[in-house]
Amino acid sequence: MRNIVFIAPPAAGKGTQANILKENYNIAHISTGDLLREEVKKESLLGKQIEDKMKSGQLIEDEIVTELLENRLMQDDTNNGYILDGYPRNIKQAKILEELLEKINKPIDHVIFLEIDEEEAMKRACGRLTCDKCGKIYNIYFDEMKPKKENICDDCNISLTHRADDNEESFKKRFRTYMESTKPLIDFYQNKGLLNVVDSSINKEHTSKQIKKILK
């Protein structure tokens, strides 16, 4: 089974690598950030409550994110495997996840830690553009990741979106939160024998090759 958890600083390439894995192995890509952004877009009551927090780079309450995640994990497309992108973000969430996955009998097979330094991650965040339709991620600062036509998705031919929290100030806050709350998960999963470290600082092909080796 390919049940995978990504742990990484913001903009390390979780979304890009998850899209590649989803295509190659036909498994579900579950991004809690995307689930939350969908709520904001729908302008639901929940969306209105979380919008400002997300924009400024703060974490959303564990209970809210966990409920969205639980509903998503129940869907049939996760039976073949899943990639969790953005959850858990702290030890409390990791423990909640452990219980939840035991209950639905979908335990984690691999935890993949994408390693990158703050300066490179900031460049990736500030230049990032996303297609809301197909989820493809572009970047204006890297030639190999630029869209063919400025600000237009190569595949869907629609305008790309720049995330509201992909600015310097919000990025720095997200990075600090990552160092304080998320990084301790590395030891947590190392102790469980599930951790794999991948250098994500070169380019997406280099990162993808290392991940494929782990999944073999």
For ligand AMP, the binding residues (CB under 6 A) are 10, 31-33, 36, 53-54, 57-60, 65, 86-87, 89, 93, 165, 174
What secondary structure does DSSP assign to 115-164, as a single string? E--HHHHHHHHHTEEE-TTT--EEETTSGGGS-SSTTB-TTT-SB-B--T
Comparing CB distances to ligand AMP, the nearer of 63 and 143 is 63
In the complex, the smallest distance separating the C-beta of residue 159 from ligand AMP, rounded to whole angstroms, is 20
In the complex, the smallest distance separating the C-beta of residue 215 from ligand AMP, rounded to whole angstroms, is 21
Comparing CB distances to ligand AMP, the nearer of 21 and 54 is 54
Comparing CB distances to ligand AMP, the nearer of 2 and 53 is 53
In the complex, the smallest distance separating the C-beta of residue 147 from ligand AMP, rounded to whole angstroms, is 20
3-class SS of residue 85: strand
Using CA atoms of 75, 81, 85, 87 in order, give the dihedral in degrees to the nearest 10: 70
Comparing CB distances to ligand AMP, the nearer of 62 and 77 is 62
The residues annotated with a catalytic role in the active site are 14, 89, 128, 163, 174
Minimal CB distance residue for ligand AMP = 33
List the strands of the sheet with 195-199, edge to edge: 28-31, 81-85, 2-7, 110-115, 195-199
Q: Is the dihedral of CA 141, 134, 114, 71 positive or negative?
A: positive
In the complex, the smallest distance separating the C-beta of residue 144 from ligand AMP, rounded to whole angstroms, is 22
Q: Which residues pair with 196 in a beta bridge?
A: 112
